[in-house]
Amino acid sequence: MRSSWPALLALGVVALDQGTKAWAERTLSVGVPQPLLGDFVRLTRVHNPGGAFGLLPQSTGAFIAVSVVVVVALGWTLLRGRWGGLARLGGALLLGGALGNLVDRLRWGYVLDFLELPSFPVFNAADSAIVLGAGLLGLSLLWRWK
């Protein structure tokens, strides 16, 4: 094992995600938008039983199974230290995001989303980490091919 920073980053993402969702659960009513930065950023609590963008809402069990496989695969890959640089950073962000949303699915049967931008689906901190992590992994692959 090369270092523990990817595990610490992943756990930090989970902590941030679960903390913000606990706040949203206590503070926001389902489906009632609250302006944060005018109409540009709103806080709107949504319960998403499906995948990204609410796809396949009746497939919670399948999303749990896929999430477990992703978490185990990413965790194993990061522990073995096979990735470096951007790939390692991206993998740690992906792992934290996947774990954060998996916790929701296991606890509630849905993912709690609450950040809303214009013309964009409502999302959460875990979703942001997943998108950023996937982007960093993609960049690391592109740079490797050059």
State the chain's mean pLDDT as an integer: 89
Sign of the CA dihedral running 4, 6, 9, 10: negative
Instruction: Please answer whether residues 75 and 95 qualify as being in contact, where contact means their C-beta atoms are separated by less than 8 angstroms.
Output: yes
Distance CA 14, CA 49 (A): 19
**Cβ neighbours of residue 75 closer than 8 Å, sequence gap 6 or more:** 95
Distance CA 133, CA 88 (A): 9
Highest mean pLDDT among 2-6, 11-15, 116-120: 11-15
State the DSSP string of 16-61.
HHHHHHHHHHHHPPBT--EEEETTTEEEEEEEE-SSGGG--TT-HH
- Residue 119 buriedness (CB in 10 A; 0-12 / 13-18 / 19+): exposed
- Asked if residue 138 has pLDDT above 50, the reply is yes
What confidence score (pLDDT) does residue 145 get?
65
HSE at residue 127, side-chain half, CA atoms within 13 A, is 19
Mean pLDDT check: name the lowest of 14-18, 19-23, 42-46, 70-74. Answer: 70-74
Which residues belong to the active site? Answer: 113, 127
Distance CA 64, CA 26 (A): 25
What confidence score (pLDDT) does residue 1 get?
47
What confidence score (pLDDT) does residue 114 get?
97
Domain ranges of the chain: 5-22+29-49+57-121
Higher pLDDT: 79 or 110? It is 110
pLDDT > 90: percent of the chain: 64
Task: Calculate mean pLDDT across residues 120-124.
Answer: 93
| Per-residue pLDDT tens over the stretch 42-101 | 999 999 987 666 566 666 777 788 889 989 999 998 888 778 889 999 999 999 999 999
Overall pTM > 0.75: yes
